[in-house]
Amino acid sequence: MTAATVDFTALAGKGANPANRPSTSDIPWNKQKTSPLKIVGTVIGYLGMLCLTIFMVLPFVWMFLAAVKPNNEVFMVPFKWLPSVWHWENYINIWTDSNMLTWLGNTVFFAFCVTFLQVFTGSFAAYGFSKIKFPGRNVLFLIYIATMAVPWQAYMIPQYKILSSIHLTDTRWSIILLQAFGAFGVFMMKQFYDTIPEELSEAARLDGLSEWGIYRRIVLPLSGPSIAALGIITFTNTWNDYMGPLMYLRSPSLQTIQLGLKTFISQNSANYAMVMTGSVMSVLPILIVFLIGQKQFVEGIATSGMKG
C-alpha cells in the first residue's frame, strides 16, 4: 500500500504524553494559518463537493420526482424532470394499495435481529482473532475469508437443503440465521481491533484483567465507530437483500420490503409512478439508521485516557 513505514509504538508513546496536546484540531490542513490561497481552495473544494452531491443524488431525485408524476410521464422521451401535475397522493395511496406496513415491519425486524447478531458475534469472534494468540488462529481466520470468495448463487441450494432439513424454510429464523453469521463482520471487526495498540490489552492483562474484562472495558468502548459502520452496513444489506428472502420466504405475512416491491412492480408494471413511490419509501428507514449511526463518527478517539 505504501512505502512509508512508521514505528507505530514510538508514535503512540509520544502521543500518549498529555503535555503534547496543544490544540483541539485533529486533522492536518486545519492547522495552517488562513491564506488567500486557502480560501480559494476552500471555495473550490465546496463547489466540487456540491457537484459531487448532485452527481450522487441525481438518480434518487429522479426517483422522487417520478413518484409524483402522472404515470405516462415517467419514461417519456424526450426526458423531462418535472411533472406536469404533482401527484402527492401517491404517497398516501401506496399504504392502501400494498401491504407496505407488513413489509416494513418484517424488514425492520429482520434488519435489527441480523444487525444485532452480526455485530455481537462478529465483534466477539474478532476479539478472539485479533487479541488472543492461539495455534491455528490464522488458518481458522483464512477459512473465514475464503468463504467470502465463493459466490452465494453456487451454494445457495445446498444451504437451502440444510435449513429445509431442519424445517426452517419459510420462517423468520431462516433469514436471521442466513445473514447473521457471515464472515464479513468478523473480518471487519478484527481489522479494526488490530488498529488498537497491543500495549493496551497487554497492560491490562498484566494488571490481572480477564480476557472478557479486556474486551468489555477496553476494546468495546473503543470500537464505537467500527460497530456503527458494521451496523449501518449490515442493516443496509439486510434491508436491500432480495435473493435471500426470495429463496426462503413464501408466506405473504413474512414478505420483506424488497420482495414486496418486486411483486408490486410485476403487478403494477404499467404503474411506474407507484413503483417509484414504493422505492422512495423503502429508502427512508435506512437513511434514518444511517443518520443515527454516523453520529458515532463525529468524535475521534483518545486512547490515552484508557491507559490511565
Partner 1 sequence: MKFNHTLKAATAAFAAVVMSAGLAACGSDSAGKTEALDENAKTTITFAGWSLDSTPEFKTLADAFNKEHKNITVELKEYSADDYDTQLTGDISGGSQPDVFPIKNLQKYKTYAESEGLADLSDIAAEYADDDNIDVSNYELDGKYYAMPYRQDSWVLFYNKDMFDKAGVAAPDGTWTWDDYTKAAEELKEKLPAAGYDANSVYPTYQHNWQSVVQGFALAQTGYDVDNTFFKGDFSYLKPYYERALKWQDEGLTIDWNTSNSTKVQYQAQFGTQKAAMLPMGTWFAATLVSQQASGDAEDFTWGMAPIPQNPDESSSDKPVTFGDPTGLAVSSQIDGQKLAAAKEFVKWASGEGGAKALAAIATTPAYFSDAVVDAYFGVDGMASDDLTKQAWQEHDTKPENPVGEGSDTIISLLKDAHSSIMTKTSSIDDALAAAKQNAIDQGAIIE
Partner 2 sequence: MSVSSPKTKAPKGGKLTAKAITRRNTIHGLGFIAPNFIGFIFLILVPVLVLFYIANTKWSAFGDPKWTGLLNWRRLFKDDVFRAAFVNTIVYSVVHIPLTLAIAFALAVLLNSKLKFRSFFRTVAFFPYVTSIVAAAQVWNMLFDAKSGVINQFLGLFTDNPPAWLGSTTWAMPAVIIVATWREVGYYMILLLAGLQTIPTELYEASSIDGANGWKQFWKITVPCMRPTLFFVLVTLTIGSFKILDLTLVMTNGGPGTATLVLAQYVYRVAFERSDFGYASTVSLTLFALCMVVTLIQFWYNNRKEK
- The site for partner 1 (CB under 8 A) is made up of 71-72, 75-78, 135-136, 139-140, 156-158, 160-165, 169-170, 246-247, 250-252, 255, 259, 262-263, 266-271
Element containing residue 62 per DSSP (H, E):
helix 36-67
Of the pair 10, 253, the CB lying nearest partner 2 is at 10
* Contact partner at residue 246 from partner 1, partner 2, none, CB < 5 to 8 Å by partner kind: partner 1
Give, as ranges, the residues between 28 and 87 that touch partner 2 (CB under 8 A): 28-32, 45, 49, 52-53, 55-60, 62-63, 75, 77-79
Type of residue numbered 99? N
Segment contacting partner 2 by CB under 8 A, of 3-11, 87-95, 96-104, 106-114: 3-11
* Contact partner at residue 28 from partner 2, partner 1, none, CB < 5 to 8 Å by partner kind: partner 2
Sign of CA dihedral 250, 251, 252, 254: negative
- Cα–Cα distance, 117 to 123 (Å, whole number): 10
Peptide linkage before 78 cis (omega within 30 of 0): yes
Residue 224 C-alpha from the chain's centroid: 14
> What's the Cα-to-Cα distance from 96 to each of 99, 275, 304, rounded to whole Å?
7, 14, 56
Is the distance from CB of 131 to CB of 219 less than 8 angstroms?
Answer: yes
- Cα–Cα distance, 112 to 119 (Å, whole number): 10
Give, as ranges, the residues between 18 and 37 that touch partner 2 (CB under 8 A): 20-23, 25-32
User: Under rule CB under 8 A, how many of the chain's residues touch partner 2?
Assistant: 130
Looking up cell 500518549 gives 16
Provide the minimum distance between the beta carbon of 280 and partner 1 in the complex, in angstroms, as a whole number.
Answer: 18
Q: Is 264 in the site for partner 2 (CB under 8 A)?
A: no
Site map for partner 2, 207-236, x if CB under 8 A? -xxxxx--x------xxxxx-xx--xx--x
- Indicate which single residue of 158, 165, 253, 269 sits in contact with partner 2 (rule: CB under 8 A): 158
* Contact partner at residue 84 from partner 2, partner 1, none, CB < 5 to 8 Å by partner kind: none
Element containing residue 27 per DSSP (H, E):
none
> Residues 6 or more apart from 117 whose CB is under 8 A from it?
176, 180, 181
Q: Is 266 in the site for partner 2 (CB under 8 A)?
A: no
* Contact partner at residue 269 from partner 2, partner 1, none, CB < 5 to 8 Å by partner kind: partner 1
Q: Dihedral (C-alpha) 185, 203, 221, 114: value to the nearest 10 degrees?
A: 20
Provide the minimum distance between the beta carbon of 107 and partner 2 in the complex, in angstroms, as a whole number.
Answer: 13
